[in-house]
Amino acid sequence: MAAQAKPRRRRLALVASRGSLDGAYPPLILAATAASLGWEVGIFFTFYGLDILHKKRHKKLKVAPIGNPAMPVAIPNLVGALPGMTAAATTMMRRWMKRANLPTIPQFLDMARESGARLFACSTTMGVMGIREADLVPGADIAGAAAFLDFAAEADVSLFV
**Cα separation, 133 vs 131, whole angstroms:** 7
Min dist. Cβ of residue 139 to a second copy (A): 22
**CB nearer to a second copy: pick between 93 and 140:** 93
Residues 6+ apart with CB under 8 A from 43: 14, 15, 16, 27, 31, 112, 117, 118, 119, 120
Min dist. Cβ of residue 161 to a second copy (A): 5
DSSP conformational letter for 140:
E
**CB nearer to a second copy: pick between 16 and 119:** 16
**CB nearer to a second copy: pick between 68 and 115:** 68
159 by Cβ neighbours in 10 Å (0-12 / 13-18 / 19+) ranks as middle
Min dist. Cβ of residue 119 to a second copy (A): 18
Question: Shortest CA distance to 16 belongs to which of 106, 148, 155, 113?
Answer: 148
Min dist. Cβ of residue 2 to a second copy (A): 6
**CB nearer to a second copy: pick between 37 and 142:** 37
**Cα separation, 151 vs 155, whole angstroms:** 7
